[in-house]
């Protein structure tokens, strides 16, 4: 029987109050709860206090500044991100990625901050309490052994967020607020390649917003591969931002998700300045292969997932190069 643990709930009215509450031992933030609550029902976590961020009014705003910079509050729902006219006009890849998350009812509750900061997943972690106890738990929670990569000293649970890679190739920054004040960092810096410690947030810190520069001149898209056309997490996800001048690539950014413990940028510096050819495509796919760490899932094997990731990487750049 799945029963939520006992906890208190706080609903701060300001971000400052939320930071103070989150600095307390045993406190954890909650937005829409679409990721956190199912985990708690499975015994994955024992928070003493849930700090509900949904009453902080200025945390859900979406606006475009005079200089063309987009700011999305972490409390904005994915539905709001999908439907925002400014995002769809200037940064359509963000709306595209958000619309591919789960199903419509999830997106009406799930927040941007929650999606970006979602927990990593693993076939040995996302199980019932009795199942996990029968396997001696795992390195990510309550155990000391990684069942995926035996003898590993880190957790290989995988990050499956869809929106992060799209924001990363758009050079987005994370606005983080905590006891020491506000700090900004590239969105890629919000994540660590460790399944049990995948967020670079200190105690009491909270993701307040994402800031995205203008995307003029860039062609950007996100593609997600999954078994079902709704609900499923990505078996492989890839975002690409391409800038073309005639027959030359003048800018190329690529990010992947669903394969590693964090969404990761792929090194593409060697491709800038040349054209998009079969040889260039091979260099890109090898860079994607080198960056990814594809593991077996309950529905697909390693070879299939890797082949899909590489094929989609090339096809997406093909489409952007040809203006599709």
Tell me the per-residue pLDDT of 225-281, one tens digit each, with 9 for 90 and over: 999 888 899 999 999 999 999 999 999 999 999 999 999 999 999 999 999 999 999
Q: Are residues 66 and 178 in the same domain?
A: yes
Q: Are residues 291 and 170 in the same domain?
A: no
Boundary-marking domain end, from 190, 212, 234: 212
Q: Are residues 63 and 200 in the same domain?
A: yes
Q: Are residues 246 and 171 in the same domain?
A: no
Q: Are residues 73 and 194 in the same domain?
A: yes
What is the residue range of 76's domain?
58-117+158-212
Q: Are residues 187 and 316 in the same domain?
A: no
Q: Please report how the helices 302-321 and 278-291 are oriented relative to each other, as an axis angle in degrees rounded to 10.
A: 140
For residue 139, tell me if it sits in a domain. no
Q: How far apart are CA 161 and CA 163, in angstroms?
A: 6
Q: Are residues 191 and 242 in the same domain?
A: no
For the domain that residue 298 is a member of, what is the CATH number?
A: 3.30.390.50
Q: What is the pTM of this model?
A: 0.96
For residue 35, tell me if it sits in a domain. no
For residue 30, tell me if it sits in a domain. no
Q: What SS3 class is residue 167?
A: helix
Residue with tokens 């460790």: 194
Q: Are residues 65 and 202 in the same domain?
A: yes
Return the pLDDT at 301.
85
For residue 113, tell me if it sits in a domain. yes
For the domain that residue 104 is a member of, what is the CATH number?
A: 3.30.465.10
For residue 196, tell me if it sits in a domain. yes
For residue 239, tell me if it sits in a domain. yes
Q: Are residues 206 and 66 in the same domain?
A: yes
Q: Are residues 250 and 201 in the same domain?
A: no
For residue 103, tell me if it sits in a domain. yes
Q: Are residues 63 and 201 in the same domain?
A: yes
Return the pLDDT at 166.
98
How many structural domains is the chain composed of? Answer: 2
For residue 84, tell me if it sits in a domain. yes
Q: Are residues 284 and 164 in the same domain?
A: no
Return the pLDDT at 2.
65
Task: Write the DSSP string, 72-134.
Answer: EETTSBHHHHHH-HHHHHH-HHHHHHHHTSS-HHHHHH-BHHHHHTPPPB-TTTSS-HHHHHH
H/E element holding 256?
strand 248-257
19: its two tokens: 């930071």
Cβ proximity of 302 and 295 under 8 Å = yes
Boundary-marking domain end, from 212, 229, 245: 212
Which portions of the chain are predicted below pLDDT 70?
A: 1-2
């Amino acid at each position: 029987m799945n029963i939520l643990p006992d906890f208190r709930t706080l609903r701060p009215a300001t971000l400052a109050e939320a930071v103070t509450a989150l600095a307390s031992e045993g406190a954890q933030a909650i937005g829409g709860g679409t990721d956190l609550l199912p985990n708690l029902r499975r015994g994955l976590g024992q928070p003493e206090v849930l700090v509900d961020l949904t009453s902080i009014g200025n945390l859900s705003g979406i606006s475009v500044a005079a200089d063309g910079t987009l700011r999305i509050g972490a409390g904005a729902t994915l539905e709001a991100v999908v439907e925002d006219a400014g995002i769809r006009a200037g940064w359509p890849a963000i709306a595209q990625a958000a619309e591919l998350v789960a199903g419509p009812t999830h997106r009406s509750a799930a927040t941007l901050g929650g999606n970006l900061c979602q927990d990593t997943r693993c076939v040995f972690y996302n199980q019932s309490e009795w199942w996990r106890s029968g396997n001696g738990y795992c390195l990510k929670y309550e155990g000391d052994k990684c069942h995926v990569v035996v003898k590993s000293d880190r957790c290989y649970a995988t990050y499956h967020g869809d929106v992060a890679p799209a924001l990363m190739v758009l050079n987005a920054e994370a606005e983080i607020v905590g006891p020491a004040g506000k700090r900004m960092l590239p969105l890629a810096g919000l994540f660590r390649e460790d399944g049990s410690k995948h967020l670079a947030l200190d105690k009491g810190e909270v993701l307040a917003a994402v800031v995205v520069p203008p995307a003029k001149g860039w062609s950007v898209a996100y593609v997600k591969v999954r078994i079902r056309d709704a609900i499923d997490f990505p078996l492989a996800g890839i975002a690409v931002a391409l800038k073309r001048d005639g027959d030359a690539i003048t800018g190329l950014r690529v990010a992947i998700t669903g394969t590693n413990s964090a969404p990761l940028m792929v090194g593409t510096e060697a491709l800038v300045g040349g054209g998009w050819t079969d040889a260039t495509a091979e260099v890109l796919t090898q860079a994607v292969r080198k960056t990814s760490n594809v593991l077996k899932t309950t529905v697909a094997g390693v070879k299939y997932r890797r082949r899909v990731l590489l094929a989609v990487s090339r096809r997406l750049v093909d489409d952007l190069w040809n203006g599709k």
